[in-house]
Structure 1
C-alpha cells in the first residue's frame, strides 16, 4: 500500500511539473447550451444528443486545446417546438434542433419543399438537392443570419403519407374530414374537400384519440416512435415527398466568439450528422411501416393514377408562394425554378412540375 501511495505521489508531482513546463498547452473550457423542443424519441434530437455533442468533444479532445462543457435540455425543457428558433436568436440556447417548418413567416425560402409536394421521395436525394440549392442562392442562409443564427445542418423527414381513422381510396374520400397538418403542408389538401387543421407532433395523438382530427399528414419514420397508428389505424401511402423540416442552428454571436478550431469541428460533425440522420431516418421509415402493420394497422398504397389526380387538383401553391416571397424582396421565383431544375437534373420523377 505504501509503495502505491509513493508512486501515486510521484506521478502527481511529475504531472504538475509537466503542466507548468514551458510550451505546455492549458485546455480551455467553453460552456455551451444545446436543446430541442422535441423529446429524445425524435431521431433528430437523439442524434444531436447522442452523436453530435459527444463527437464534437471527442475530436476537440484529440487536439487537446479545447473542451466544451454542455448544458442540455430536451423535450421542451428550455423552449418548445414553436419557440426554439427565437430561443437561439435571443441567446437563451446556443445550439439547437430548430423546427423551421413552423417558421414560415421568418424563414419563407426555407419552405420550398413544402410547396412542391409529389416530388422527391428519397430523403438523401432531397437533402442533397436542398444543400445544392443553398450553395447556389446565398439568400437561403442569409434568412438565418437576419435572426442572429447560423445554420449548421439541415434535417429532413422521409416521405409524408396520411394516417387516418377512415379508408381513403380516392381523394374525394377526404371531403369534410379534419386532417392535422404541419405548417404549409396544410396546402397539400387544397381542392380535396378536406379540412386542414394546423398542428404539431406533440398534439396529434390526443387530437386523434378525442376526434378533433380524423387523420394527420405524417412522415413514415415517426410511425413507430409516436405510435399514432394506435388512434389512426389506416396508413395510406400517398407519397407527398420527403421534406426539409428542421435545422441545427447556432447563435451567431456565439459562433463569432468561438475559436476557429472549434468552428471547424462543429462544421465537420454537422455534415456527418446530416448523413447519419438521413440513413437512420430512412431505416426508421421502413421499420415504422412494418411496426404499424405488426400492431394491427392497415397499410395501403393509393394508386399512382389517383395520386396524380390528387396532385393535379391542387392550385399551383408553389407559384403563389414564390410570388409572395418576390413581393418581400426575396428570390422566391429563383428558388422555386432552381429547386425544380435541380430535381429534374437528379432524375426525380415529378408528378407535377411546379415551375411550369
Structure 2
C-alpha cells in the first residue's frame, strides 16, 4: 500500500513542477489619440496586439493583459508623447509631428516639402539616415521612451470648402495644419491654424476652417468630403508623422523574450501599415469623388510659385536645431543627399540655397 502511495506521489511531481512555473502576466496599457478606425490604430488593435499574444502563447512563459485607450480616452494626440514619458501609458501611437519642440530632428520631412510622394521610399531613406544620425533615436530616450516602429502618410494636398485655382484664392482663408506643416502656407496670405485630425471635421463644418492640409488616405477615412468637397492636388509630399513608442522604464522591466517579441512584431506592424496606407491612399481620392468631391490639380506654375514664395524653412529649422545642441544642419544635408541618391527631385534645394 505504501508503494502505491509513493508511486502516486512520484507521478504527480511533473504536474506539480509545471504549476510552479505558471505563465507570468504582464500588464500593459496601450493608447492612441485617434479612434480605432484610423489605419494606424486599427493595425494595433487587429494585428500587433493579437500577434504579440499569439507569439507569447507559443512558449507559454508570459502573457500580456492589455488595457486599451483608443480615441483619446487616456490621452489626446497633443499629450500622448508626455503620457508615455510619464508612464501614464506604457505603449502608444504617438503623433510625433506635434512634438517639434522635443523631437526636432523627427520633423525633417515637414521642413523639406515638395519632395517624394512615395511613402515607402521616404521611409527607406529615413531608415538609412537613422544609421548616420544616432541622435534621431537618442532624442526619444531623453524623454524616457524608445521607438518601436515608425509610420507616415502619403502626399498632402489642400481640402477646402472653396475652389483654389491660384495662390490669390488663399488670401484671408484659414487652414487647419498639423505641426510644422503650417510653414507650407507662410507668405501665401492664408492663415494656418494648429489643429489635430480628430477635430478637423467639426472645424470645417462650423466654418472655423476654410480648408485643411490633408494626406490622401485620411480624406475618405474621416469623410472630410462631406464638409469640404474641393480637393486641390498640390503635392507637398509624403511625410513621416507617427511612432509607436514604449516607456523606457517599462521596457527595462520586461523579460528578454517579451522585448524580442515586441521588437519583431513592431517591425512587421511597420511593414504592414505602410502597405495598407499606400493602398488606402490609392483608393482614397476615388472614394471621395464617388461621394461627391471634386478634384482639381493646382497648375504647375502655381505650385512652383508656392514653393518659391516660402522662406527657406529648412535652413531656418536647421539653424534653430543647431542652437539646441542637435545636428540640424547635418540632418538636413544628410537627408537631402540621401533623398537625391534615391532619385528624389525637390522643388527647391533646401540645403543649398
TM-score, normalization by structure 2 = 0.94
How far apart, CA to CA, are the structure 2 residues paired with 1:307 and 1:16?
78
The within-5 A match list for 1:1-40 is 18-21=14-17, 25-40=21-36
Once the two structures are TM-superposed, the CA of residue 330 in structure 1 deviates from its matched residue by 0.5
- Residue 172 of structure 1: CA displacement? 2.4
**Residue number in structure 2 paired with 1:281:** 277
Match of 2:27, SS state, is strand
Task: Give the alignment's TM-score, normalised by structure 1.
Answer: 0.93
Using the alignment, how far apart are the partners of 1:69 and 1:248 within structure 2?
A: 18
Distance 1:237 1:18, change over 3 A: farther
1:123 aligns with 2:116: no
Q: Secondary structure at the match of 1:153?
A: strand
* In structure 1, distance between residues paired with 2:12 and 2:99: 52
Q: Does 2:125 correspond to 1:133?
A: no
What number of residue pairs does the alignment pair up? 344
Q: CA deviation at 1:41?
A: 1.7
Task: Summarize the Cα distance change of 1:258–1:174 in structure 2 as closer, same or farther, 3 Å threshold.
Answer: same
CA distance in 2, matches of 1:18, 1:290: 62
Q: Give yes or no for the alignment of 1:56 onto 2:52.
A: yes
Alignment match, 1:330: 326
Give me the whole-angstrom Cα distance separating, in 1, the residues matched to 2:12 and 2:167.
Answer: 74
2:63 corresponding residue in structure 1: 67
> Does residue 144 in structure 1 map to residue 140 in structure 2?
yes
1:45 aligns with 2:37: no
**Partner secondary structure for residue 92 of structure 1:** coil
Does the 8 A contact of 1:18 with 1:24 survive in 2? no
Structure 1 residues 171 and 62: alpha-carbon distance in aligned structure 2, compared to 1, 3 A threshold: same
> How many angstroms apart in 1 are the aligned matches of 2:12 and 2:45?
34
Contact 1:179-1:214 at 8 Å conserved across structures: yes
Aligned to 1:353: 349
Give the secondary-structure state (helix, strand or coil) at the position aligned to 1:114: coil
Looking at structure 2, the residues matched to 282 and 245 of structure 1 have their Cα atoms a distance apart, in angstroms, of 14
How far, CA to CA, are the matches of 2:15 and 2:169 in structure 1? 73
Distance 2:151 2:205 in 1: 29
Structure 1 residue 161 corresponds to structure 2 residue 157 = yes
**C-alpha distance in structure 2 between counterparts of 1:64 and 1:178, whole Å:** 55
Aligned position for 1:200:
196
- Cα distance in 2 between the residues matched to 1:153 and 1:140: 13
How far apart are residue 63 of structure 1 and its match? 2.5
**Preserved CA contact (<8 Å) 1:123 1:242:** yes
CA contact (8 A) 1:152 1:267 kept: yes
User: Which residue in 2 is equivalent to 1:226?
Assistant: 222
Give the Cα–Cα distance (whole angstroms) in 1 for the partners of residues 276 and 20 of structure 2.
42
Q: Describe the superposition over 1:24-43 as per-residue Cα deviations: whole angstroms up to 9, x where unpaired.
A: 85322211111111101211
Question: Are the structure 2 counterparts of residues 271 and 335 from structure 1 closer, same or farther at C-alpha, using a change threshold of 3 Å?
Answer: same
> Any idea what the Cα deviations from partners look like across 1:184-224, whole Å, max 9, x if unmatched?
10000112111111111122111111111111000111111
Task: Compute the displacement of 1:17 (Å).
Answer: 5.8
Kindly state the Cα deviation for residue 297 of structure 1 after the two structures are TM-superposed. 0.5
Distance 1:19 1:133, change over 3 A: farther
Residues 16 and 101 of structure 1, relative CA distance in 2, 3 Å threshold: farther
- 1:222-241 alpha-carbon deviations (Å, 9 max, x no partner): 11111111111100111101
Gaps of 5+ in 1: 1-12
Shift of 1:18: 4.3
Runs of 4+ in 1 over 6 A off after TM superposition: none
- Which residue does 1:4 correspond to in 2? none
1:343, CA displacement in angstroms? 0.6
Alignment of 1:94-105 (within 5 A): 94-105=90-101
